[in-house]
């Protein structure tokens, strides 16, 4: 780890002590006290023009999103977040230092909600656009972590909240479902879980592929966010399509066996059921094939 020295000092002063942090920012590595449970690791990179528009958005919101998308991955495994490291490539603008500080404060704002210290990083400047890469560590609970691959035919499928239209702003301001995931994992045997980054239809498909099963969704049961209706007015596509494919909702999809469903809190939305094969959505009584389509990654 390297980076500009005065900025490292500024970071250091703002890094609170934390029982797990043996060495914080300012050495070649950070050091964390070892835990007794499996260490979860996730990393996500956000780029100006793809994941946010620096010209239009308060850098604190960008910082919050950079941290929150990683927290969402820990939530998807029902893990407890522990600590983060952050790398940035800053554009060569006159107030780059201010930008770096605002990004950091945004990341800290989100991280602080989950008692996650930022223990190190690498701050760079270059002739390109802003890039932020966060790596987050967490720990499985004593109940283990929840994978994508445990869904079984007959399992009921749920989402934690309404979907679609996140591009109107929620993709920057969502709250990662850490608390919800931990409470669920405590109360219910979760067979599989994933967070919605690519869109319901694409991310549920990841669960199905990994689990080797299919699913039938109930169109009427899919919770549609008011933003999906707003988007629909400008796109001309039905709100349901936005809920299925928009992505960056960062709600959780989870699968629960029928014997366990009475333990699922009533605020969650049962959207369908796992089947031996196939991938369809019922609109009324008419099944329509679903494609694993969502946010199209440019490399696909």
Residues 139-168 that bind its own copies (CB under 8 A): 140, 145, 147-149
Residues 48-67 that bind its own copies (CB under 8 A): 48-50
Distance CA 283, CA 115 (A): 43
List 191, 198, 246, 249, residue binding its own copies (CB under 8 A): 198
| Pairing relationship of beta strands 214-218 and 131-140 according to DSSP bridges | unpaired
Distance CA 10, CA 272 (A): 50
- Considering beta carbons, is residue 31 or 226 the nearer one to its own copies? 31
Cβ neighbourhood burial of 79 (10 Å; 0-12, 13-18, 19+): buried
| Beta bridge pairs of residue 13 | none
Residue with tokens 């998807």: 76
Residues 231-290 that bind its own copies (CB under 8 A): none
List 11, 32, 163, 188, residue binding its own copies (CB under 8 A): 32
| Binding flag, residue 26, its own copies (CB under 8 A) | yes
| Binding flag, residue 22, its own copies (CB under 8 A) | yes
| Minimum distance from residue 83 beta carbon to its own copies (Å) | 8
Give backbone dihedrals phi and psi of 105, rounded to 5 degrees, phi first: -65, -35
| Minimum distance from residue 227 beta carbon to its own copies (Å) | 21
* Cβ atoms of 43 and 70 closer than 8 Å: yes
| Binding flag, residue 5, its own copies (CB under 8 A) | yes
| Pairing relationship of beta strands 156-159 and 252-256 according to DSSP bridges | antiparallel
| Binding flag, residue 47, its own copies (CB under 8 A) | yes
What is the C-alpha R_g of the chain? 20
Residues 125-144 that bind its own copies (CB under 8 A): 125-129, 131, 133, 135, 137-138, 140
| Minimum distance from residue 300 beta carbon to its own copies (Å) | 6
């Amino acid at each position: 780890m390297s980076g500009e020295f005065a900025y490292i000092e500024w970071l250091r002063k703002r890094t609170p002590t934390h029982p797990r942090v043996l060495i914080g920012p300012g050495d070649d590595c950070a050091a964390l006290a070892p835990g007794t449970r499996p260490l979860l690791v996730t990393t996500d990179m956000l780029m100006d023009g793809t994941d946010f528009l620096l010209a239009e958005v308060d850098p604190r919101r960008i910082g919050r999103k950079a941290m929150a998308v990683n927290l969402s991955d820990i939530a998807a495994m029902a893990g407890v977040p522990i600590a983060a490291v952050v790398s940035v490539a800053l554009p060569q603008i006159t107030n780059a230092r201010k930008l770096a500080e605002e990004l950091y404060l945004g990341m800290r704002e989100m991280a602080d909600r989950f008692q996650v210290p930022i223990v190190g990083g690498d701050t760079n400047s270059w002739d390109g656009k802003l890039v932020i890469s966060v790596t987050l560590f967490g720990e499985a609970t004593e109940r283990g972590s929840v994978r994508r691959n445990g869904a079984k035919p007959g399992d009921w499928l749920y989402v934690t909240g309404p979907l679609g239209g996140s591009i109107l702003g929620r993709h920057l301001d969502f709250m990662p479902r850490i608390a919800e995931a931990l409470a669920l994992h405590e109360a219910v045997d979760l067979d599989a879980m994933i967070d919605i980054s690519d869109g319901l239809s694409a991310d549920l498909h990841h669960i199905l592929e990994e689990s080797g099963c299919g699913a039938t969704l109930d169109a009427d049961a899919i919770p549609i966010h008011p933003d999906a209706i707003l988007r629909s007015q400008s796109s001309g596509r039905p709100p349901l399509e936005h809920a299925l494919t928009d992505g960056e909702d960062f709600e959780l999809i989870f699968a629960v066996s029928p014997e366990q469903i009475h333990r699922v809190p009533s605020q969650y939305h049962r959207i369908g059921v796992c089947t031996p094969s196939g991938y369809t959505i019922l609109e009324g009584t008419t099944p329509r094939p679903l494609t694993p389509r969502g946010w199209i990654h440019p490399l696909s």
